[in-house]
Amino acid sequence: MGRLADKVAIVTGAGQGLGESVALRFAAEGARVAVVDVNPETAAETVERIREAGGEAILIVADCSEEQDTERMAETTLEQFGRIDILVNNAAVFGKVAPVYEIDTEVWDRIMRVNLRGPFLCSKAVIPQMKRQGAGSIVCVSSVSGVQGNENQADYNTSKHGLIGLTRCIAQDCGLDGIRANAVCPTGMNTPMMANTPAENVAPYAGQTLMSRFAEPSEVANAILFLASDEASYITGAVLMVDAGMTAIQPSGRQMEVGQARFLARAANR
C-alpha cells in the first residue's frame, strides 16, 4: 500500500516540470490523479506516463485563472473518482524581469491572475467536497521569492508572498472541517527551462545555497508528498522551505565564490 493509497489528488500545472514530477510521484504512491494543465499535449504525456506505470489518471485541460474551468475541474474529478482528497496548487507563470516602476499593468495583472487568483479559485472549487468528506489537504507551491525580495521581480514575488497568505487563511478558515493547508517554498529547480539557461547566468543563485546546486523536481515533489499525506496530519498553516538553506543564512563572500565555482564545475561535466 502506498502512502496515498485510496486518495484522489488534483495537480495543477502537471504537464511539465515540478507538476509532472508531483503527479508521477503521487500516482506511484497509490493516488488516482487528475492531471490539470492548460496545455493538452504535455498533460496527455503525463497521463500516459502514469498509466504506463500502472497508475490511474485523467486529463483535465483547464485555465486555473478562470472560475468556470476550476469548477469543471472539481466536477470532472468527482464524476471520475468520487472524491477529492488532495489539491496541489502548482500552476504558475513568471513575470517580466524589470524594476517595479517599469512593469506593465497588464503583465502585473496576468501574474496575479495565474499565480494568486488561480490557487484561490482551485481551492474554492474543491473545499466544499473536502468539507463533506471531513478531510482534505491543500498544498500551495510558493517559492523562496515568497519570503524575500528579489531585484526586478516585484510581480512574481508579490504573487508568491500572497500565496503564502492565502494558504494560511485557508488553514484558518477550514481547520475545523478537517482540511489542512500548507505551502512549500522551493529554490531554483533543474527543469528544462533551467537547462536552457547559461550556467554562468544562474551560478550566483546556486552559490547562495548550502549545496551549491539547484533542486531536482523530485526532491521538491517529496516535500509536497509529505505535506499532502496523512503523515503530516498535525501540520497546517506551515511554510516548508525546500531551498538547501538559501533563506536560512546570509552567505559570506567566500561561500558565494566557492558555491559558484562548484556549480560551474558540475555544469561543465554534464
Alpha helices in the chain (DSSP H): 17-28, 40-52, 67-81, 105-112, 118-133, 154-174, 192-195, 199-206, 217-228, 253-268
- Distance from C-alpha of 256 to C-alpha of 250, rounded to nearest angstrom: 10
Neighbours of 127 (CB within 10 A): 21
Characterize 74-98 residue by residue with b for buried, 16 or more Cβ atoms within 10 angstroms of its Cβ, and e for exposed: bebbeeebebbbbbbbbbbbebbee
Taking the C-alpha atoms of residue 39 and residue 235, their distance in angstroms, rounded to an integer, is: 33
Left if phi > 0, otherwise alpha if psi is -120 to 50, otherwise beta: which for 13?
left
Residue 250: burial class (beta carbons within 10 Å; 0-12, 13-18, 19+): exposed
> Distance (Å, rounded) from C-alpha 137 to C-alpha 172?
13
Q: Is 156 a catalytic residue?
A: yes
Per residue, what are the HEC states of 111-137? HHHHHHHHHHHHHHHHHHHHHHHCCEE
Q: Which of 101, 156, 205, 234 is catalytic?
A: 156
Lookup: cell for 174: 477550514
Residues carrying an active site annotation: 156
